[in-house]
Amino acid sequence: MIWDEKMECMSVDTRRELQLKRLQDTLNRVYKLVPFYRQAFNQRGIKPQDISSLEDLRKLPFTTKDDLRENYPYGLFAVPRKDLARIHASSGTTGKPTVVGYTRRDLETWSECVARLIIMSGGTAEDIAQVAFGYGLFTGAFGLHYGLEKIGAAIVPTSTGNTERQIMVMEDFGSTILISTPSYALYMAEVAEQMGVDTKKLPLRLGLFGSEGWTEEMRRELEDRWHITATDNYGLSEIIGPGVSGECLYKDGMHINEDHFLVEIIDPETGEPLPEGEAGEVVITTITKEALPLIRYRTKDISALNLKTCCCGRTTARMEKIKGRTDDMLIIRGVNVFPSQIESVLIDIEGVSPQYQLVVSKKGYLDELEIKVEFREDWFTGRFSDLEALEERITQKLESVLSLTAKVKLVEPKSLTRFEGKAKRIVDLRKTTGN
Ligand code: DLL
């Protein structure tokens, strides 16, 4: 099923006309209403009317997270306070959060965008959807909540945490959709197994996972453990929250809601746009947002575009699963590696569980990586030599697939920290180990 056939399946040319019109409207608004943008455009000698094609987008300046921080909390808003209907924020690991605002119409746009992605992953009005994202300033829970409401599904707003209770609710209420981060879904599966719940017997049939990176291997793991179909969806608070893009059941890239967001892929070093298929940094321009329109926002997420029409009939461009973030890339002895590449290798090795932690430290001038990974309980025979052999196998596989030299340390099942929201798999000791 398609939620908004007109917008999701329109011809590419018609969509481009609509996008250009909406882009021009947005530029006029920000130029008039947001001093930050007026100044940034003036500095480059650009007036909104100079943008006469979508290709002209590249003439516009980027917006970064630092710009939002420097204008904390409301400096980039384009509406008066009285027109705000909601304020959310993204937590951020240090300092102040990034504050984002919505008008009534923005909330309506948000619901529509999320409704589309729920329908495209196979959700229906008959479903009972358990929302195990944290309700609060985080956009994940409310965003999915509104989309579910829009399509008429029944919502079970469990929020995060109290995992045994989550499982009990899932079993007793008969949840058919689980909504969470992939890492929390994995933890929940472990707890369900511990509680003796047979996941095969549950009515759960669909998992809508997002908000953090996860690999195809992790998808397989979650689908096997829960006996569900798992789809990916992407978004970020600054742009709207969840609802920027999502997978249909072909699971071949995430359909972008292109009538609301223009997505470019750029070379993060030079800032130049990259052609279809090439991986680079995702840059997003909002073209319908009222409260917080953003021009060429640099997300730091790495993906590539696919402009071909999908087998599902939607004509919207798709973005590949996020490969990592520009600020998450590790450089270990000259080898560039994303945590997702390490995850792909680990999960595929027999005896290894998908629970891992990457510890980065500094020895002299070199970065060193230690990979702590749990072995599987059902694999371990009790022989120490088996553990040594497995460590050796992992080390070799990482070398042969990624040319990565890392110290591998197998740890006991359930010994690493579990996560209820976004997983924190990298422990960076470099700041504390000198140099
Ligand atoms: O995580 C919005 C969201 C909520 C998306 C629920 C999907 C589902 P923030 O907390 O602002 O917003 O974090 C945004 O999370 O820049 C990515 O680095 C990462 N991220 C979000 N979705 C995905 C995904 C929400 N599907 C940041 N795959 C983004 C990989 C993702 N990373």
Is the CB of 247 inside a 6 Å radius of any atom of ligand 1? no
Alpha helices in 213-369 (DSSP H): 216-226, 339-347
Rg (C-alpha) for the chain, rounded Å, is 22
Length of the chain: 435
Q: Which of 121, 138, 236, 247 to mutate to test the pocket of ligand 1 (most atoms within 8 A of CB)?
A: 236
Distances (CA, A) of 433 to 89, 349, 361: 32, 32, 7
Tens-digit pLDDT profile for residues 54-85? 999 999 999 999 999 999 999 999 999 999 99
- Shortest-distance Cα residue to atom 9 of ligand 1: 236
pLDDT in tens, 360-418: 999 888 899 999 999 999 999 999 999 999 999 999 999 999 999 999 999 999 999 99
Domain architecture of the chain: domains with CATH:
1-325 (3.40.50.12780), 330-433 (3.30.300.30)
Alpha carbon distance 143, 146 (integer Å): 5
Pocket of ligand 1 contains residue 234 by CB under 6 Å? yes
Q: What are the angstrom distances between the C-alpha of 40 and each of 31, 46, 59, 208, 270?
A: 9, 9, 12, 38, 19
- Cβ of 139 less than 6 Å from ligand 1: yes
- Which amino acid makes up residue 23? L
Q: Is the CB of 207 under 6 A from ligand 1?
A: no
Mean pLDDT, the chain, rounded, equals: 96
For residues 90 and 237, the answer to whether their CB atoms sit within 8 Å is yes
Residue 431's pLDDT band (cuts 50, 70, 90) = confident
- C-beta separation of 76 from 294 below 8 A: yes
What whole-number distance in Å separates Cα of residue 153 and Cα of residue 144? 11
Ligand 1 centroid vs 395 CA: distance in angstroms? Answer: 31
Give the model confidence (pLDDT) of 133-150 as tens digits. Answer: 999 999 999 999 999 999
Q: Which atom of ligand 1 is nearest to the CA of 233?
A: 26
Distance in angstroms (rounded) separating the CA atoms of residues 307 and 319? 9
Closest CA to 243 of 73, 100, 127: 100
Peptide bond into 73 cis (omega under 30): yes
**CA separation for the pair 241, 31 (Å, rounded):** 24
- Closest residue by Cα to atom 31, ligand 1, is 212
Per DSSP, what are the bridge partners of residue 205? Answer: none
Taking the CA of residue 300 as reference, the ligand 1 atom at the shortest distance is: 16
Angle at alpha carbon of residue 247, lines to 243 and 253, rounded to 5°: 110
Atom of ligand 1 nearest to the CA of 244: 5
Percent of residues in the chain assigned helix, strand, coil, to nearest 5: 35, 25, 40
Q: Are 151 and 126 in contact (CB under 8 A)?
A: no
